[in-house]
Structure 1
């Protein structure tokens, strides 16, 4: 290239860069202006006095309070408010962070006012970030709520020890303060038809409220939309294709649009390592390291990391094609009720592309409420009849939904492709789809050893369903695809730390027994690193560490084998492995078999040395053991061992065993990670 050509390239590059920077400033200023205008149009409710003023002025009969971490409780509360509004019950949906005991006291003084609570339990029995202050206020207050009518719906997961602890606590504390239950406490289970439980609770509660307020049961039309689309701003139509490309890249950047993350402590971390852990296997497991040195992010050994994975771009593009929408079109969904405190289902304005990528779950199973609300959008009579059966409460309907939606892992794109005449408005889908949740992973590094790095151990979900459909895990496949910071295409990913009770004993002298299968080894790798560090620094005496680990093949999926063997060589760790597919006689060997072989040692550590026992990993069969219902929280390998080993003793009956387990659970000596 001659000097003239080189100079021309430089000039063009400078002009393009200058133009692009100007465009960035113009677009950013334009977005800020839109948001400021939108904010000015909204009634400002910034304190508790304003909230009470709205209730009194607007003839609010029901206040719906929600505590949400990932958006599900918020969605249910908003759904409930919309449903009650259609039935003639004026209501207000309020985030618990805007509420305190004084608000409830004032509500209890009103003759006809009901308080409803839709609250999630987070982690090991903890309130959500938004509900934490309210819970402390409720526990420590001596104020009375004698005239307050209330009802509580809890959201939880029965796989966790403290199932729905927050919902139970709020119900108990409101009663303690003198509140009167309008309806019995209802506990929704994430692993057992949560949405159906909520809909049944909502239906029964609505009937009670209509009777309580002497209203006519005149309108139960759930198809009315709560949100309406009020913005339709198209991207600037630039004639220069390259500049247009830059604009589209810019306008869909997550840092330009508002983020969907309710957790204020998230941080963009660099991926500095992403390597395969399996050897010669068709399956995949990744070891990922994140650099958090540039943040104030601090974690403790045993904590979880939340990964905010976006929806796959190819699926978002398919939605755009199937619904025939311009994904770069700017939209805003605003609440119809001018007094609603929930102004938008997610940060607005934004583009369709940004909303479908970051705000709503398009890979998870569409709920029955979505299908019901979109029933009018099914043009074909046969397909309409099919959807009606799908959402019905009949046994055939439940079986069809379980198989066709849940077992086959059908998401929104599958639904649109399989039901050719199912074409609901895109904005209706955006308001009805479940919020996109972060995925939690046990941190597999010790904070003492890796202060500025967080390690993740993730098995990649990629398998064929019974119907032959290929299911891919959203977050794990996204993590696998990430480039590291030493490449040109590396990406910083949004993460947040979630505290956990899955920690080492406070005293390092206490022995620990760790039971793991597969990637359940992750938190125990961190435990071992921590105690090795303490031993190296000569910080007191460490208690015995025993690891029972199981996987399929020693030469394929025995992850971190070199590290574990090195730890064993120091004398700190004693390890017993079970490789279920490597047995010469073909009989599968699991960790509970190894525990039984080492029964004397395990029982001595538990009974005499007060060892802590930890279980983490995939659910392992109990081999036809009948576990009493109240001991469901004891993971099968642990219970299997205790039952088989101790009941061989003439002096140790099963009743004594149950009491022993209950005592250990009460003392938090049994800890489980999922």
Structure 2
């Protein structure tokens, strides 16, 4: 008889088809009499806990498989056995991490866009590796290093110092750690594992194996028994628990074997190849909440001109590019660092206009806090492109709504200017949204509401579904 367990990967931005195929497979297998091992798992690539959702589901799956097939397991025994001995020289990190298509690009400049005291947004420019190309709307994936503060905390917790520069790792199974050759302790901690990754149930079980103190065991067991990824602290890491409970005698080799492999991070490119085909820019927010530091954003923030980093261009969804015909108008909805791809879109239109092509005027609806604090690119490029006739600007300032015609958030500005939005809709414009998931939901609801003013709510939903694949594209994060 057939046994099954299904985990579905999808993106909630595609609401019509989200999890449709995994749910169909799951229901069909059950209907046909197959034996269910575990409830349907679902991961949302458009959210901020995709990997955590899978890790939690996977841990439950291994527990079920162990019971079903009488397999005896013991916590960290499932981890590759890593032996460590002190010994030195750097390794090819990208190859070891199985990212062979990433290559070294060069930092040209890195500057702060926001006022002092405001949440930091930065602009960074790179020279691409030879032969690497891109389109406006694509992503640049970068291979970061952990923040130096994370590395310092690891070395302190395991009583290493930077003077111990050489260790040798040997693994009994597949691993993406640098094995069989000398490597620095700080290098392993910095570049090969996700130190700040949210702690998993498997991690907690591993910590329990190396805990003899009754109070610590009781506390860890309580955390394990009440573990809920959605309701728990999404920023608690394995390192946080090791620092909180110093009597856990976890070896460094087990610690690094317990952590996920360092992975590439994707950022929307904020430039157009018509500006410069060999260079790209990124526009990004720097994430920092107490001890929690965004790995990639802090890495990028600390780069300087002349630095080299591993990178690769990744294509975006087919619909998330400027129309090939520049006479098709665009309506752009964004907030915060969601500005990134739209700077590239508008830069492309500006270059086309300067080359003498007929370019339709587009409109940018943009939400931020204050006009003199975080209205990105407003005083230079956006002002210039507005004078050129490429774009009309419709901002919303959450902390100064009186300076944006009484509109606090971007969806408020869209609704206030719904006559304009409706005119664009009738002209066949393409609509784009980039920003956090909650902002994207609010914009979508406002857009459908505008359509519904004329066609009614039910018909508006149907119209939106019809145009979604060709005229309404989204790039949502968080």
Is TM (by shorter chain) over 0.5? yes
Residue of structure 1 in register with 2:77 after alignment: 224
Residue of structure 2 in register with 1:331 after alignment: 169
Q: Would the alpha carbon gap of residues 402 and 359 (structure 1) be closer, same or farther in structure 2, given more than 3 Å must change? A: farther
1:303 and 2:163 aligned: no
1:672 and 2:478 aligned: no
Residue of structure 1 in register with 2:265 after alignment: 439
1:398 and 2:216 aligned: no
1:567 and 2:385 aligned: yes
Task: Classify the secondary structure of the residue corresponding to 1:670.
Answer: strand
Give the Cα separation in 1 of the matches to 2:61 and 2:168.
Answer: 37
Kindly state the Cα deviation for residue 594 of structure 1 after the two structures are TM-superposed.
1.9
State the structure with bigger RCO (CA 8 A, min sep 6), 1 or 2. 2
Give the Cα separation in 2 of the matches to 1:386 and 1:438.
Answer: 34
Q: Would the alpha carbon gap of residues 390 and 170 (structure 1) be closer, same or farther in structure 2, given more than 3 Å must change? A: same
1:603 to 407, 422, 437: 422
1:549 to 355, 363, 366: 366
Residue of structure 2 in register with 1:107 after alignment: none
- Greater shift, 411-420 or 519-528, is seen at 411-420
Residue of structure 2 in register with 1:187 after alignment: 42
Task: Classify the secondary structure of the residue corresponding to 2:370.
Answer: coil
1:88-487 alignment runs, 5 A limit? 151-156=5-10, 158=12, 168=22, 186-189=41-44, 191=49, 194=53, 195-204=55-64, 210=68, 215=69, 217=70, 219-230=72-83, 232=85, 234-235=86-87, 251=89, 253-255=90-92, 259-292=95-128, 294-324=129-159, 328-335=166-173, 343-350=174-181, 351=183, 352-392=185-225, 394=226, 397-398=227-228, 402-403=231-232, 405-406=233-234, 409-463=235-289, 469-485=290-306
Kindly state the Cα deviation for residue 165 of structure 1 after the two structures are TM-superposed.
6.8
Q: Say whether the 8 Å CA contact 1:345–1:431 is kept in structure 2.
A: no
Q: Would the alpha carbon gap of residues 313 and 670 (structure 1) be closer, same or farther in structure 2, given more than 3 Å must change? A: closer
Kindly state the Cα deviation for residue 362 of structure 1 after the two structures are TM-superposed.
0.6
Q: Say whether the 8 Å CA contact 2:207–2:250 is kept in structure 1.
A: yes
Q: Would the alpha carbon gap of residues 620 and 182 (structure 1) be closer, same or farther in structure 2, given more than 3 Å must change? A: closer
Give the Cα separation in 2 of the matches to 1:567 and 1:258.
Answer: 39
Q: Say whether the 8 Å CA contact 1:462–1:473 is kept in structure 2.
A: yes
1:627-638 alignment runs, 5 A limit? 635-638=441-444
Give a deviation string over 1:480-507, Cα, whole Å, max 9, x none: 221212xxxxx21111111101212233
Give the Cα separation in 1 of the matches to 2:25 and 2:8.
Answer: 9
Q: Would the alpha carbon gap of residues 585 and 551 (structure 1) be closer, same or farther in structure 2, given more than 3 Å must change? A: closer
Unaligned runs of 5+ in 2: none
1:592 to 368, 387, 411: 411
Choose 1 or 2 for highest CA Rg: 1
1:25-44 alignment runs, 5 A limit? none
Give the Cα separation in 2 of the matches to 1:283 and 1:261.
Answer: 32
Kindly state the Cα deviation for residue 225 of structure 1 after the two structures are TM-superposed.
4.1
Considering only aligned residues, what root-mean-square deviation do their CA atoms show, in Å?
3.3
Give the Cα separation in 1 of the matches to 2:231 and 2:165.
Answer: 32
Q: Would the alpha carbon gap of residues 515 and 585 (structure 1) be closer, same or farther in structure 2, given more than 3 Å must change? A: closer
Give the Cα separation in 2 of the matches to 1:560 and 1:474.
Answer: 25
Q: Say whether the 8 Å CA contact 1:260–1:358 is kept in structure 2.
A: no
Give a deviation string over 1:436-482, Cα, whole Å, max 9, x none: 2222111100012121111011111223xxxxx44332222222221
Task: Classify the secondary structure of the residue corresponding to 1:413.
Answer: helix
Q: Say whether the 8 Å CA contact 1:188–1:197 is kept in structure 2.
A: no
Q: Say whether the 8 Å CA contact 1:267–1:297 is kept in structure 2.
A: no
Task: Classify the secondary structure of the residue corresponding to 2:81.
Answer: strand
Give the Cα separation in 1 of the matches to 2:241 and 2:84.
Answer: 27
Kindly state the Cα deviation for residue 402 of structure 1 after the two structures are TM-superposed.
4.3
